Amino acid sequence: MKKTFFCIFTLFACAGLFAQQPGKTYNIGDVGPAGGIVFYDKGVFSDNWRYMEAAPVDAGIPVPTAQWGLWGVTVKGTSDEIGMGKNNTKLIVAEMKQNGEKGKAAQLCDDYSLNGYSDWFLPSLNELNQLYLNLKQKDFGNLGNFWYWSSTEATGKNAWSRTFVHPSKYSGNAGMTRPEKTMPFHVRPIRYF
């Protein structure tokens, strides 16, 4: 009864709460609670999330490209694993703040907001690959034929990216490369829910 009374006065807040509860199910291609496109389902609700949704557009105005940043600086602790993009972004943004960098890929995602949700981040390499496999290859998600940055660092001068050129000869891992962090690639924010 208390929850019902609370929801009457905070209808919008409750809509977001119910959308993120473990009982609600989504399919790939559905619109997520923040207005993005669902592109991954890990099958169980754990670590406060089950699904990933991608923003409906690339981040960056007026041009949706950015450098990875931190050329020559090593960010310790980034991972290519699914479920690590949010942590990667946090590490990168903290290092950029310390180095006085602005307007880079991870920062664009960290600053992104849509429909009241501001918990977006730059995907890890394997999260980015799922975005390619589950949306781009099926022509969902308004994803361009570009290279996209991941939040996975390779070296102090290189970070991992993936081509979204489709149809592509770059199937599987062939579409993943480690260009210099100074390259202006596209950036697509994602979030867990």
pLDDT digits (tens, 9 = 90+) for 162-189: 999 866 555 566 689 999 999 999 999 9
- Residue ranges covered by each domain of the chain: 27-192
Q: Which residue carries 């308004």 as its tokens?
A: 142
The predicted structure's pLDDT at residue 24: 87
pLDDT digits (tens, 9 = 90+) for 54-105: 999 999 988 889 999 999 999 999 999 999 999 999 999 999 999 999 999 9
Give the residue from 150, 144, 145, 146 showing the smallest Cα distance to 178: 150
pLDDT digits (tens, 9 = 90+) for 4-21: 333 333 333 444 444 445
The alpha carbon of 128 is separated from its chain's Cα centroid by a whole number of angstroms, namely: 7
Mean pLDDT of 118-138: 96
Tell me: pLDDT of 113 over 90. yes
The predicted structure's pLDDT at residue 167: 63
Tell me: pLDDT of 155 over 70. yes
Mean pLDDT of 35-64: 95
The predicted structure's pLDDT at residue 173: 67
The 3-state DSSP class for residue 93 equals: helix
User: Residue 25 — very low, low, confident or very high, per pLDDT cuts 50/70/90?
Assistant: very high
What's the token pair of residue 71?
A: 């050329």
The predicted structure's pLDDT at residue 120: 98
Tell me: pLDDT of 43 over 80. yes
CA distances for 89 relative to 17, 48, 72, 105, 142, angstroms: 24, 18, 18, 9, 23
Distance between CA atoms of residues 104 and 81, nearest Å: 21
